[in-house]
Amino acid sequence: MAETFNEMVDQGHVREAYRNLEKWQNDMPADLRAMKQNEAEALFRRVGITFAVYGEGGDPERLIPFDMFPRVFTASEWRKLDRGIRQRAAALNAFLADVYDQREIVRAGRVPEHLITHNEAFEKAVVGFRPPRNVWSHIVGIDLVRTGPDQFYVLEDNCRTPSGVSYMLQNREIMMRMFPNLFVENRIAPVDNYADTLRKTLASVAPQKCDRDPTVVILTPGQFNSAYYEHSFLADLMGVELVEGQDLFVEGDFCWMRTTEGPKKVDVIYRRIDDAFIDPLCFRPDSMLGVPGLMNVYRSGGVTICSAPGAGVADDKAIYTFVPEMIRFYLGEAPILENVPTWQCAKADECKYVLENLSELVVKEVHGSGGYGMLVGPKADKATIEAFRAKIEERPWNYIAQPTLALSACPTFVEEGVAPRHVDLRPYCLVGEKIELVPGGLTRVALKEGSLVVNSSQGGGVKDTWVLAE
Amino acid sequence: MRLTVNHVTRYSFGAPIARLIQSQRLTPSRCANQQVQSWEVRMEGATRGAAFRDGAGDWTETVTVQGPRDHFEIVVEGTVETQDFAGVLQEHREKVPPSAYLTATDLTRPSQGLRELAGRALEGMGAATPLDRAHALSAMVSDTVQYVPGETDQLTPAAEVLEGGKGVCQDQTHVLITLAQLSGIPARYVTGYLFSAAEEHMSEASHAWAELHVPDLGWVGFDASNRCCPDDRYIRLNSGFDAQDAAPIRGVVSGGGGETLDVRVKIRDADDPAAAQAQQ
Amino acid sequence: MLSRTASHLYWMARYLERAETTARLLQMGGRNALLPDIGGGYRNDWEAVLQALGQLEAFREKYSDPNQRNVETFLFFDSSNPASVMSCIANARENARVVRTALTSQVWDAINTSFQEMQEFHRTERSKLLLNDMTDWALRAGALIRGAISGTQLRDDGYRFIGLGYTVERADNTARLLDVKYYVLLPSLSYVGSALDQTQWATLLRSMQAHRAFVWSYKGEITAAKIADLLILNRQFPRSLLSATQESVDHLEALSRGYKQPSRAATVARGLLGEIAELSVEDIFDEGLHQFLLRFMRRNDQIAAAVQATYLSGVPE
């Protein structure tokens, strides 16, 4: 494994992005730091940002640990990321439009057909349908890691309903309250227009049948969902209703919301429930979370569902390998952001290589998420590796493998002071009439020394992410 | 042939319902095999809307009924001119790629028994044409699953049907779909109507069969219940992965209780005056 | 506003009002138990408390003896009893939690804190808890929440649904309480003017926290007619049937104005108000107190049903 790139101190020098933070860090006495940390925690509790962790017992409403040390990008670093992320979001949408229409990319021999039609996320129900503006994934979360000053890799794409953006916004809010001077001394690009941009993006994909200011709602599975806080937070910031399936019904050509003033037509639904639950008349008949008939209204152009049902076919880990190809195919451009080299265990020769090098690789389930069902070779003991080997041999098509990347590290407050910890980044790209990206994203940090797993469900924390203005 | 359809579906509710919503696919497919001369779906006190043709070529409509109601009746009436293409679905416009129909559902999931059956059906057929292989699979289903009503229900999976060895057209079709998919042949569930002049047919007038995708021919129908391929006695309505996905009516009722369903289907030869007389 | 949101606000308030009613009844029962045993004795009184809450049957299924300890447990802590203070506060908090963004942080804080303190009580050893402390706490918590609502909530439609929850429940609770005790107010019985009457009447007033109100509003002797007047027709007394109904009408008219559409719920409520506004105590006794109360409760339920149909179901009538 290559040496870790430290984003603040490189070869003994403090890098440009962090120049102002060095003094801030040095000037902060331990007691002030502790006080601020408590204050941050109290603020998070007060606004109620908690998340549910499954299968671990203990407090079900837990706080995600917040690290006060910001993660910083310079304007020029961000410029490249910005271009790369927008490019990728555009290509993923072009791919989805193609997948459900002519499948030119398959005809051209660039992507094997079975990866599309055999994909669990492929929805026969939307083949031939063209959503407004032909946008399928309206909120694209792209997970990035860094390994050097100029080396960024895309770890995975999230085309369905990527979560975590509420942390991006709250982390900034809390930092500005606790350290206003930092924001005076540094020119930090704001992120707080995210909610407004999201609302405009959603409104821009209202169906043609909508002849007035579109009514946008967020559809949540309900208060027991782990991301419920985020759903209500976004609804509140956008000034739109947060609805459950029972609040909506279908009548005639449209979908309606039950209000105290009677039925109100809904034009755009930002849904935070999975495809299978959207409509019991189209998908799982036992779904109580969805709206019966909604898919018919959608497919006849009466309402827009964001992201489009079936959008998940583009963010599968097996399809991931082909994203650079998509960029070349649909956009005629060279990919700006690189993919992590990936071995498909479904292919015999690649699987052989993976099995021979398990101790060096990261192995993931094709449909897994949240860092579960994952093997980090260099961090695993022999027994774990052997157990995983058996799993791969049994169901090779279910796994892909990647080299263990030397994730960059950022200074992080720890027990003993400040120490480098590994981080990743999830920016949120909005696709509607225009492609929009707020400068920043969610930085997740592995709080355990040496750990590469940044998932909040497994001991990860979050940081405010700064992009310095030009 | 010219076939006349009279199809009445009546729901009765023990306790009045508050609301009902249905997604209906009750209109014949548009293809060279059949020309619709007249077709009407009638319902009392229902709001219709959200209609479209989907990627599989099926026409879907959305129907809602505001309660309280203790019954709801759908009357489908029409005449269709049919032609015999030896089971081959002709000039049917659809956008879903055949390979999408290689995926099993809960109702068509393979079991060890189904795997073995598929193997047996194709034994020694290595050199056979894809069409012959499809025929062999369909024949195997006719031989293995006896047509016996009342032994299975709406949600009996193919694996269980095979174990019991008995079932209705839905079950035989599910088994055939699984066998085909196991043999690498895309297969799907088709619903429609079947005209039978005499008592030779064991199936109901409201019918289901399978379509298997055969290179160069496209989708070809196989009716394992009647050991044949659909001809001009068949009217095709719509298709799906399985019976649930292809159901001509999917609905949700709010409130009420004690639903009973009464379905009557009459298919007659429009040009046979005797049959027309008998209908009166 | 979403019908579901309105519904949660409305039910939150109904539960909050119900928690106070239960606490008040418990307080009255506890006080009665300290008085000398005359007539039916304390046993009857605990049963009357249970009866007023419609929980006598449920209690008998769980406990054999209606002694104070059992009734306390049942009415304060028992989460299987939907009328217990604990159930009501938990349900109110649950309704509030779902619609947190429709509440000010002060209101949420007040409700959530009450719930946490309630949990605290539940964990405390019972021998260390005095009934009076518990009921005092519950009534104080109720007042705190009410104050937070009245002091911080925007006077929008949400506020009206909260208000309606309180008034519809209050009207029902007062009527129910009166109905259980109506025979006490009947002038025909043999012990008119007896010591028993005086005690029973004082108890009834106390259960409504109306004793002081009575003394200030009505000079002289306590009589059945005066009590009925206070609890049914006195516009100054906040828990009288007339006050509660008047407030329901006010909330519903505010909603109609805000939505610029007349509602059947307002018509139903105005109808009931019209029926009782001009009544005298004599009219009520002529009709029969019990009959009057049954009729009132039925009409109050009709208001609740109309609110449900007009606003909370989200479909046009």
Based on the domain organization, do B132 and B241 belong to the same domain?
A: yes
Comparing CB atoms, the residue among A128, A297, A299 nearest residue B95 is: A128
Whose CA is closest to B15, among B90, B67, B51, B74? B67
Q: Cα torsion at B199, B200, B201, B205 (round to 10°)?
A: -30
Question: Taking CB atoms and an 8 Å limit, are B95 and A101 in contact across chains?
Answer: yes
How many angstroms separate the CA atoms of B226 and B194, rounded?
Answer: 11
Supply the pTM of this predicted model. Answer: 0.88
Based on the domain organization, do B257 and B238 belong to the same domain?
A: no
Question: Taking CB atoms and an 8 Å limit, are C314 and A235 in contact across chains?
Answer: no
Q: Does A300 touch chain B (CB under 8 A)?
A: yes
Calculate the average pLDDT of chain A. 91
A423-463 pLDDT, tens digit per residue, is 999 999 999 999 999 999 999 999 988 888 887 767 789 99
Q: Does B50 touch chain A (CB under 8 A)?
A: yes
Six-digit token string for A60: 């079900």
Q: Does A100 touch chain B (CB under 8 A)?
A: yes
According to CATH, where is 3.40.50.11290 located in chain A? 208-302
Comparing CB atoms, the residue among C6, C98, C315 nearest residue A263 is: C315
Q: Looking at residue C33, what is its pLDDT?
A: 76
Task: Average the pLDDT over each of A23-27, A31-35, A416-420, A454-458 and give the range with the smallest value.
Answer: A454-458
Q: Which residue of B has its CA nearest to A114?
A: B99
- Domain hosting B29: range is 2-81+248-279
Six-digit token string for B130: 């894809």
Identity at C292, one-letter amino acid code: F
Query: Which region, left, alpha or beta, applies to residue A359 given φ > 0 means left and ψ of -120 to 50 means alpha?
Result: alpha
Q: Looking at residue A417, what is its pLDDT?
A: 86
Q: Which helix (H) or strand (E) holds B188?
A: strand B187-194
A146-166 pLDDT, tens digit per residue, is 999 999 999 999 999 998 999
Task: Average the pLDDT over each of A153-162, A362-371, C118-127, C276-285 and give the range with the smallest value.
Answer: A362-371
Based on the domain organization, do B191 and B266 belong to the same domain?
A: no
Length of chain A, in residues: 470
B85-106 pLDDT, tens digit per residue, is 999 999 999 999 999 999 999 9
Based on the domain organization, do B120 and B109 belong to the same domain?
A: yes
Q: Which residue of A has its CA nearest to C108?
A: A46
Based on the domain organization, do B120 and B222 belong to the same domain?
A: yes
Domain ranges of chain C: 1-153, 155-317
Q: For chain B, what is the domain count?
A: 2
Q: Does B96 touch chain A (CB under 8 A)?
A: yes
Fold of A208-302: Rossmann fold (3.40.50)
- Residues 6 or more apart in contact with residue A422 via CB below 8 angstroms: A4, A407, A408, A409, A445, A446, A450, A451, A452, A454
The question of ipTM being above 0.90 is answered as: yes
Q: Provide the shortest C-alpha distance from residue B96 to chain A (in Å).
A: 6
A104-116 pLDDT, tens digit per residue, is 999 999 999 988 9
Q: Cα torsion at A268, A310, A140, A319 (round to 10°)?
A: -170
Chain C residues near residue A232 by CB distance under 8 angstroms: 100-101
**Angle, vertex CA C136, rays to CA C134 and CA C140, nearest 5:** 120
Backbone dihedral angles phi then psi of residue A159, each to the nearest 5 degrees: -100, -10
Residue C85 pLDDT > 80: yes
Q: Which residue of C has its CA nearest to A246?
A: C4
Query: CATH number of the domain that B253 lies in?
Result: 2.60.40.2250
Q: Looking at residue A41, what is its pLDDT?
A: 84
According to CATH, where is 3.30.1490.270 located in chain A? 341-403
Based on the domain organization, do B177 and B207 belong to the same domain?
A: yes
Based on the domain organization, do B198 and B216 belong to the same domain?
A: yes
What percentage of residues in chain A have a pLDDT greater than 90?
A: 69
Q: Provide the shortest C-alpha distance from residue A124 to chain B (in Å).
A: 7
Query: CATH number of the domain that B174 lies in?
Result: 3.10.620.30
Q: Looking at residue B103, what is its pLDDT?
A: 92
Six-digit token string for A9: 């101190």
Question: Taking CB atoms and an 8 Å limit, are C4 and A260 in contact across chains?
Answer: no
What is each CA distance from C21 to A201, C75, C195, C242, in whole angstroms?
50, 11, 27, 18
Based on the domain organization, do B111 and B196 belong to the same domain?
A: yes
Give per-residue burial for C242-265: e unless 16+ CB within 10 Å, then b: bbbbbbbbbbbbbbbeebeeebeb
Question: Taking CB atoms and an 8 Å limit, are B99 and A113 in contact across chains?
Answer: yes
> Which chains does chain C touch, 3 or more C-beta pairs < 8 A?
A
Fold of A341-403: Dna Ligase; domain 1 (3.30.1490)
Chain A residues near residue C255 by CB distance under 8 angstroms: 260
Using a CB–CB cut-off of 8 Å, the residues of A that contact C are 46, 48, 223, 232, 235-236, 241-244, 246-247, 249, 257-263
A168-177 pLDDT, tens digit per residue, is 999 999 999 9
Chain A residues near residue C1 by CB distance under 8 angstroms: 259-261
Based on the domain organization, do B38 and B128 belong to the same domain?
A: no
- Residues 6 or more apart in contact with residue B88 via CB below 8 angstroms: B217, B218, B219, B220, B221
Based on the domain organization, do B138 and B235 belong to the same domain?
A: yes
Residue C34 pLDDT > 80: no
- Scanning B208-267 for CB atoms below 8 A from A yields 241, 244, 250-252
Based on the domain organization, do B103 and B237 belong to the same domain?
A: yes
Q: Provide the shortest C-alpha distance from residue C170 to chain A (in Å).
A: 23
Question: Taking CB atoms and an 8 Å limit, are A260 and C261 in contact across chains?
Answer: no
Based on the domain organization, do B87 and B225 belong to the same domain?
A: yes
Q: Mutate which of A217, A220, A237, A260 to test chain C, going by most C C-beta atoms within 10 A?
A: A260
